[in-house]
Homo-oligomer: A and B are copies of this chain.
Amino acid sequence: MTKTNLGKFFEDFRLGQTIRHATPRTVTIGDVAIYNGLFGARFAVQSSDAFAETIGYPRAPVDDLLVFHVVFGKTVPDVSLNAVANLGYANCRFLAPVYPGDTLSATSEVIGLKENSSRKTGIVFVRTTGCRQDGGKVLEYVRWVMVRKRDEAAPVPGDHVPRLPDAVLPSTLGDACPRIDVAAYDFTLAGSPSRFGDYAVGEKIDHVDGITVEEAEHQIATRLYQNTARIHFDQFSAAQGRFGRRLIYGGHVISLARAISFNGLANAFHIAAINGGRHVAPLFAGGTVFAWTEVLGASELPGRSDVGALRLRTVATKDRPCADFPYKNGEEYDPAVLLDLDYWVLIPR
């Protein structure tokens, strides 16, 4: 039995511990095609080699979230196989473009540990880094997750909660976006005339479209990322759990919301950073995801006149169109809300 990975429990983590994750993964145009088939993304830069080349990329880059999911997937067997909940993300930055053919691997450092008062679980904070085959970093993010203890009585180290920034600084954005030739950027072909300057802080955009999720779809997506969390794949076990059903990987909702957001944000072609994200409610197959976005901020990038950064809050809902921008009722989220995502996108100026 010792050859089987049953996953780490809370008491198995050590502050400062570094974990090199299996399995390295070459991301191909095959993966990109499946991603497109599952989410229907339409951003021109990622969709067209010709478009990408025209504005200065060597070819169409891999969708940022596909990179995120592949790196994230690698961490699951080592970090969250015994997780109760994926609590949040912070300080997530895309550091270099990834192109089809690049091989991604991942390493995590344990940067925080905090036992819960029940002593049954604890919160593990990891900073995960995704790298290319040449060692170049492509992604870095902090994630915290509630992990079961194997043994309630097991001693654990004292609490250490890392200090995390509320938002990524605009001065650190843009590393994963080459300087683009805005004069060559065809806004009609990209699907919208709206540029950086056309978005106002406080503006809210209903993305209108809804997408229903099927079991086969989220399973294919999540296996594509080599994410091994059982709750996404194993109905036999899920039937005995708290939901009675397979839970859809939270990242699936993020990708759906991003694809839906094209309708209103067609030129926001690159996610530069994720400031924070919260999976407010679980999603199950059969649910239809809608989304809306509020512009939280706008910032120029130091030394760059080609693109600007918009800070966005995209809210995804279940079975609830977003014409009236459902979010919170007082302190509580609207019961339809699935996802509350705060992130930076780059958009031509």
Contacts and interface: CB of A to CB of B under 8 A. Distances in A.
Interface of A: 1, 3-6, 20, 22-26, 28-34, 36-40, 42-44, 47-51, 60, 77, 101, 103, 105, 133, 188-192, 194, 198-199, 205-212, 214-217, 219-224, 226, 228, 230, 233-237, 246, 263-266, 286, 288, 290, 319-321
Contact of A189 (B23, B50, B226): B23
A184 B208 CA distance: 52
A328 B192 CA distance: 46
A4 B207 contact: yes
Nearest to A134: B50
B24 A50 contact: yes
A2 to B, nearest CB: 9
A246 B319 CA distance: 14
Copies of this chain per assembly: 3
A23 B44 contact: yes
B36 A33 contact: no
Contacts of A226: 36, 40, 42, 47
A51 to B, nearest CB: 5
Nearest to A31: B33
Contact of A216 (B101, B189, B199, B216): B216
A4 B205 contact: yes
B49 A228 contact: no
Nearest to A22: B191
Given A51-B24, A205-B4, A288 B44 contact: no
A94 B30 CA distance: 25
B4 A206 contact: yes
Contacts of A199: 3
Contacts of A217: 216, 219-220
Contact of A36 (B5, B223, B288): B223
Contacts of A40: 222-224, 226, 228, 233
